[in-house]
A and B are shown apart, each in its own frame.
Chain A
Amino acid sequence: MSRWEVVIGLEIHAQLATQSKIFSGASTAYGAEPNTQACLVDLGYPGVLPVLNEEVVRMACKFGLAIGAEITPRSVFARKNYFYPDLPKGYQISQYELPIVANGELTIDSDDGERKRIGVTRAHLEEDAGKSVHEGFDQMSGIDLNRAGTPLLEIVSEPDLRSAKDAVAYMRKIHTLVRYLGICDGNMQEGSFRCDANVSVRPQGQDEFGTRAEIKNLNSFRFVERAINFEVERQVDLLEDGGEVVQETRLYDSARDETRSMRSKEEANDYRYFPDPDLLPVEIAEDYIEAVRQTLPELPDAKQARLQESLGVKAEDAAILTIQRELADFFEAAAEASSAPAQTVANWVLGELSGALNRDGLDISGSRVSAEALALLVDRIHDNTISGKIAKDVFEAMWAGEGSADEIIEARGLKQITDTGAIEAIVDKVIAANPGQADEYRAGKEKLIGFFVGQVMKETGGKANPGQVNQLLKKKLSG
């Protein structure tokens, strides 16, 4: 065990899935032509004023309730003042002293195999900034303000995380949660879900925290893990060589897999926060909170427990099924429609179906086989109409759009041969064609039964029931 303890806190920025911006009626849709979705408010035009979007308040409340946090009865927007070209007003409207959500928590399955409680200090509402484009303008940068004013929920954890893996587990947990709640699309490529990591190390057993570095703008789980690991190593090396960690902002360069100091932001920040006089305190009444509570969906932890306890799904499968609400919903719909055990359905969802989705780069919502169609296929195995092996071919045909399980079984004549007479005839034929092996079997080489089953299955095109074939062969060979 290292003599250094790692301490990590994450600030996750989740873009809220609203139609319009947090303070203006401009669209939040991703990917528009530069500056076509930046209205006068987003541009910080002289004279225009912000008006708060009701949906962001509702979404923040949902999140707060989902992590058992306090919803602040009177929260306040403040201005964070600094100059940057992608920040049109010269200040960001955020929340400072009185965030809308405070003191929540969730549990993660930690690296060391234990369940661990991670505190969420606060979650506050703020507006996103625009984007700078550095290529294609000679000595200039281009500024696109389409993203300016997009609502963000910044979720700040306690410094409770003790490893890069824990940090990723926590981030995944939040990622799952915000998508369950329908408040964020979680699209990390588009920047809808990203985080800053505050990383420090201290000698094991020391109470005070070490000096931390903040790694900005990590937009994939892999980068979070790698950036933290790099940073920890850098800090430990520094300290072990007798150096000191400087409190600073660092950038993770994924191409080089290293973090480096952001010199341009080194100037001592003095954000001069003060309450935004253009906005009034946001008051949230108890009955509003209760109404929002009624709209909460079943949350991932509860769903996972239910799949295990009520449906008898294995723990690890239940965990995977519930990462994404749509996948869990698909599974539940299939399990509900099927008469086979839920675990069998789970095997198919996590096996063939997930494989096909991955292969084609699809989300569960884009599945080419519906939950009901999959249930029917599983039922056909369960009622012995086809074997599991044939079912895989049927699934592929279903995926290719050839029809329902029954249609494909019928069209391709894949139904298992249940007519004992017909199987007997084939068994007889196979034994007659392989007299040598038949003799060996009879002489005690019982392993050869496998060979005969294989031959019969081959003759029947896999349509015989292997158990039935086995029985018949034993009878005939010993007879």
Chain B
Amino acid sequence: MSISDKPIYDQTMAELSKGLAAGDFSSVELTMALLDRIEEKDGALNAVLTVTRDEALAAAAAADAARASGDAGPLAGLPILHKDIFCTRGVRTSCGSKMLDNFIPPYDATVVERLAAAGAVMLGKTNMDEFAMGSSNETSFYGDVMNPWDLERSPGGSSGGSSASVAARFAPVATGTDTGGSIRQPAALTGTVGIKPTYGRVSRYGMIAFASSLDQAGVIARSVEDAALVLGAMAGFDERDSTSIDQPVPDYVAELDTPLDGVRVGIVRQHFDAGLDAGTGDQVRAALKTLEDRGATLVDVDLPNLDQSVPTYYVVAPAECSSNLSRFDGIRFGYRAENPEDLLDLYCRTRGEGFGAEVKRRILTGTYVLSAGYYDAYYLKAQQVRQLIADDFRKVFADVDVIAGPTAPTPAFKLGEKTDDPVTMYLNDIYTIGANLAGLPAMSVPCGFAEDLPVGLHLVAPHFAEGALMAVGHQYQLETDWHTRCSEDYR
């Protein structure tokens, strides 16, 4: 592909990398162009919470210098946005919450540190659902994020600021986190690529915890190739995270060339049941056909406990979150209520005022399911069902290489549409949650449009098979151009 005619902001990382190497533009120029674009266009989207202009330009200049002296890292001078859940030294990290509106971490998350070490240039921090709890980006203390494809619609959540930013060409890649679908669903709703790797693949150190046994960092990009490039730089063992996996990271970019011939793709019938929007279903079926045409074999598979995945998640995740968020007490960091009457008042008001409604709801749910008399019926039961769900996947992966289906039941929904009933919102995650419960790598790839809104194809692979997973996505993108489509207003 020629570097040529595409505007600089519309180029993928792989393309930008070639441009930098060829000297077509410098990282400072690139960075400046994107910073200006964010400034100009984000007013309508509210996708970026903090723009780190000075730091970005300094990092870009350093990357240009490194390139000139011949010791540039793999991502030297390439721009990236970080979800505001990753701690950044000296840069406010809010997690979308009033609770951390004034929080300046004294350290960098491993993800941030590794990408910086590879030469990437952080442009800023993206908006998100408060503490990553939400599927629409409507729970952020800093307001809703709008979908670049339709400003009245949600960009998905919780990594909605990241997905909207990448769709709006603010940066080729943004980091995200995914506890129940928080990378993949926003990617599907904005026509971007979103990958959540195997649990333990990317360090959780410095990523503000929501549900520790489910949280995993990943990437939102426009091409699978970019996702592979960036994931390769951020993945790998970290001794500061006990759940990090000590396994070498393969060359994901090299694996992209693996052809689809002979790849066995599992199709779950229930994924196409009544709950699925018809237009979405059509696009996904067409995508499956494309995979088949490129040499893949489609195989029917069964996940008998699929229906239990959302209830299981909504016990396990709130339970862990209720405990993880206990540290926000106004004493050592974060929001602190004014003039507390006594210690109890300090706790209750700090937390009552600092957390938003959805976060409080999940803390209460989690407290309830762990409390005396309910632990066995809810928490322990959910852990057992979680095992059943993981077993279902184990059995299926004995037979197929990936599972394919829709990422979300509908395209982007209207802001405010699902905020009345938490359960309706939770059901948006029905296809994505299983991968978190089982710790599997999964991604969403753009596969068409339904009523002019993007639709995502969801792919799930066995543990540590993100290379094979991305190869399927990349091969699909070689055949299609959905991922290059851009909303009119952001061309």
Q: Are chains A and B touching in the complex at the 8 Å CB cutoff?
A: yes
| CB neighbours of B343 from chain A (8 A) | 85
The residue in chain B whose Cβ has the minimal distance to the Cβ of A272 is B370
Which residue of the partner chain, among A52, A90, A277, A278, contacts B326 with CB atoms under 8 Å? A90
CA distance A85 to B328 in the complex (A): 11
Distance A257 CA – B310 CA, assembled complex (angstroms) = 57
Q: Which of chain A's residues has its CB closest to B373's CB?
A: A270
14 residue pairs of the A-B complex, CB under 8 angstroms, read: A46-B87, A46-B100, A46-B103, A46-B105, A46-B209, A48-B206, A49-B242, A49-B243, A50-B242, A51-B239, A85-B343, A88-B332, A143-B331, A277-B213
Using a CB–CB cutoff of 8 Å, the interface residues on chain B facing chain A are 86-87, 93, 95, 100, 103, 105-107, 109, 204-209, 211-213, 239-243, 319-320, 322-323, 325-329, 331-333, 343, 347, 367, 370-372, 375, 379
> Which residues in chain A, 23-55, are within 8 Å of chain B measured between CB atoms?
40, 43-52
Contact of A47 among B205, B211, B323 (CB under 8 A): B205
B370 contacts across to A, CB distance below 8 A: 81, 272-274
* Alpha-carbon separation in the docked complex, A102 to B93 (Å): 44
How far apart are B384's CB and chain A's nearest CB, in angstroms? 13
Q: Is the CB of A83 within 8 A of B242?
A: no
Known: A143-B331, A278-B242, A280-B243. A49 touches B323 (CB 8 A): no
Chain A residues near B325 (CB, 8 Å)? 90
Residues of B within 8 A of A44 (CB): 327, 332
Which chain B positions have C-beta within 8 A of A81? 322-323, 326, 370
Interface pair B207/A47, CB less than 8 Å apart: yes
Cα-based distance from A306 to B325 in the complex (angstroms): 56
Taking A51-B240, A81-B326 as contacts, is the C-beta distance between A46 and B371 under 8 angstroms? Answer: no
Residue contact A88 to B205, C-beta cutoff 8 Å: no
Interface residue? A279 (CB, 8 A): yes
A272's partner among B106, B208, B371 (CB-CB below 8 A) is B371
Q: Which of A44, A49, A51 neighbours the largest number of chain B CB atoms within 10 Å of its CB? A: A49
* Contact flags A76-115 to B (C-beta < 8 A → 1, else 0): 0001010101001111000000000000000000000000
Q: Smallest CB-CB separation from A45: which chain B residue?
A: B333
Bound-state Cα–Cα, A50 to B106, Å: 17
- Pairwise interchain contact B109-A47, C-beta atoms closer than 8 A: yes
Residues A40 and B242 in contact, CB atoms below 8 Å apart: no
**Whole-angstrom distance from the CB of B96 to the nearest CB of chain A?**
13
Q: CA of A91 to CA of B329 in the docked complex: distance in angstroms?
A: 12
Q: Report yes or no: B347 in contact with A83, Cβ–Cβ below 8 A.
A: yes
Q: Decide: B212 and A277 in contact? CB cutoff 8 A.
A: yes
CB distance from A89 to the nearest CB of B (A): 5
Q: How far is the CB of B371 from chain A (nearest CB, A)?
A: 5
Closest chain A CB from B387 CB (angstroms): 13
Contact call A79/B323, Cβ cutoff below 8 A: yes
Q: How far is the CA of A32 from the CA of B445 in the complex (A)?
A: 55
A49 adjacent to B109 (CB under 8 Å): no
Q: A90-B323, A278-B243, A280-B243 are in contact. List 5 more A-B contacts (CB 8 A).
A: A46-B95, A85-B329, A90-B325, A277-B212, A278-B212
Please name the residue on chain A nearest to B325 by beta carbon.
A90
Which partner residue on chain A sits nearest B367 by CB separation?
Answer: A272
A40 partner, pick from B107, B208, B320, B323, beta carbons under 8 A: B107
Q: Once the chains bind, are A85 and B205 in contact (CB under 8 Å)?
A: no
Which of A47, A91, A273 counts the most chain B CB atoms within 10 A? A47
Contact between B329 and A49, CB atoms less than 8 A apart: no
**How many inter-chain contacts with C-beta < 8 Å in the A-B complex?**
97
Kindly state the interface size class of chain A when it binds its partner: 20 to 34
Q: How far is the CA of A274 from the CA of B368 in the complex (A)?
A: 13
State A463–B207 Cα separation when bound (angstroms): 81
Q: For residue A438, give the distance in angstroms from its CB to the closest CB of chain B.
A: 89
Known: A81-B370, A280-B243. A49 touches B204 (CB 8 A): yes
Interface of A is mostly: loop
Contacts of A49 in B (CB 8 A): 204-205, 240-243
**Contact: A52 with B242, CB < 8 Å?**
yes
From A41, which residue of chain B is reached at the shortest CB distance?
A: B240
Q: Which of B107, B242, B371 has the most CB of A within 10 A?
A: B242
Query: A20 → chain B, closest Cβ, in Å?
Result: 14
Contact (Cβ within 8 A) B209 A88: no
Q: Do the beta carbons of A47 and B212 come within 8 Å of each other? A: no
Contact among A43, A45, A280 with B242 in the assembled complex (CB-CB below 8 Å) = A280
Given the known interface contacts A47-B208, A89-B327, A90-B329, the answer about A277 and B372 at a Cβ–Cβ threshold of 8 Å is no
In the complex, per-residue mask of A107-128: 1 if CB is within 8 Å of any chain B CB, else 0: 0000000000000000000000
Smallest Cβ-Cβ distance to B213: which chain A residue = A277
Q: Considering the complex, give the chain A residue whose CB is closest to the CB of B103.
A: A46
- Which residue on chain B has the smallest CB distance to residue A280? B242
Tell whether, in the assembled complex, residue B323 and residue A279 are in contact, meaning their CB atoms are under 8 Å apart. no
In Å, the complex CA distance between A277 and B105 comes to: 23
A51 to B213, CA, bound (A): 15
Cα distance A273–B375 in the bound complex, in angstroms: 9
- Residues of chain B contacted by A47 (CB below 8 angstroms): 86-87, 105, 107, 109, 205-209
Residues of A within 8 A of B212 (CB): 277-278
CB within 8 Å of B: which A404-456 residues: none
Q: Complex formed: what's the CA distance from A81 to B326 in Å?
A: 8
User: Which residues from B are CB-within-8-Å of A90?
Assistant: 323, 325-327, 329
Residues on the A chain within 8 Å of B331, using CB: 85, 88, 143
Q: Are B323 and A43 in contact (CB under 8 A)?
A: no
| Max chain B Cβ within 10 angstroms of own Cβ: one of A40, A44, A274 | A274
Give chain B residues whose Cβ lies under 8 Å from the Cβ of A274.
319, 323, 370, 375, 379
Within the complex, what minimum Cβ distance (angstroms) separates A119 from chain B? 27
- The reply to whether A46 and B327 form a contact with Cβ atoms under 8 Å apart is yes
Distance A40 CA – B106 CA, assembled complex (angstroms):
9
The chain B residue sitting closest to A85, CB to CB, is: B331
Q: Which of A166-208 contact B (CB under 8 A)?
A: none
A44 CA to B213 CA, complexed, in Å: 18
**What residues of chain B lie closer than 8 Å to A40, measured between beta carbons?**
106-107
A residues less than 8 Å from B240 (CB atoms): 48-49, 51
A51 to B237, CA, bound (A): 13
Taking the nearest CB of chain B, how far is it from the CB of A198, in angstroms?
20
Could you say which residues of chain B place their CB within 8 Å of the CB of A89? Answer: 326-327
Decide if B323 touches A91 in the complex (CB within 8 Å). yes
In the complex, chain A residues 116-166 whose Cβ is within 8 Å of any chain B Cβ: 143
Q: How far is the CB of A7 from chain B (nearest CB, A)?
A: 25
> In the complex, what's the smallest C-beta–C-beta distance from B261 to chain A, in angstroms?
39
Most chain B CB within a 10 A radius of its CB, from A46, A49, A52, A89 = A46
Report B235 CB to chain A, min CB distance, Å: 17
Which listed residue, A48, A91, A279, touches B205 by the CB 8 Å rule? A48
A43-B332 in contact (CB<8A): yes
Q: Which residues of B contact A83 (CB under 8 A)?
A: 326, 329, 347
Docked Cα-Cα span, A274 to B324, in Å, equals: 12
Would you give the shortest CB distance from B232 to chain A, in whole angstroms? 23
Q: Which residue of A lies closest to B131 (CB)?
A: A46
- A127 to chain B minimum Cβ distance, whole angstroms, is 14
**Which of B106, B327, B371 sits near A88, CB closer than 8 Å?**
B327
Instruction: Give CA–CA (A50, B86) in the complex, Å.
Output: 17
> Who on chain B is nearest to A44 by CB?
B327
User: What residue of chain A has the Cβ atom nearest to residue B331's Cβ?
Assistant: A85
Whether A46 pairs with B323 at a CB distance below 8 angstroms is no
Closest B-chain residue to A143, C-beta based? B331
Chain A residue with Cβ nearest B332: A43
CA distance A309 to B86 in the complex (A): 66
| Cα–Cα distance between A273 and B380 once the two chains are bound (Å) | 11
For the complex, give the distance between the alpha carbons of A273 and B379 in Å: 11
Residues of A within 8 A of B327 (CB): 44-46, 88-90
- CA A80 – CA B87 in complex, angstroms? 26
CA A43 – CA B332 in complex, angstroms? Answer: 8
Closest to B93 in A: A46
Per-position binary interface string of chain A over residues 226-256, scored 1 when its CB falls under 8 Å from any chain B CB and 0 otherwise:
0000000000000000000000000000000
**Closest CB-CB distance, B290 to chain A, in whole Å?**
39
Instruction: State the Cβ distance, A76 to closest chain B Cβ, in Å.
Output: 12
**In the docked arrangement, what's the CA distance between A280 and B199, Å?**
13
Separation in Å of the A279 CB from the closest CB of chain B? 5
Contact of B333 among A46, A50, A91, A278 (CB under 8 A): A46
Report how far A153 CA is from B81 CA in the complex, Å: 45
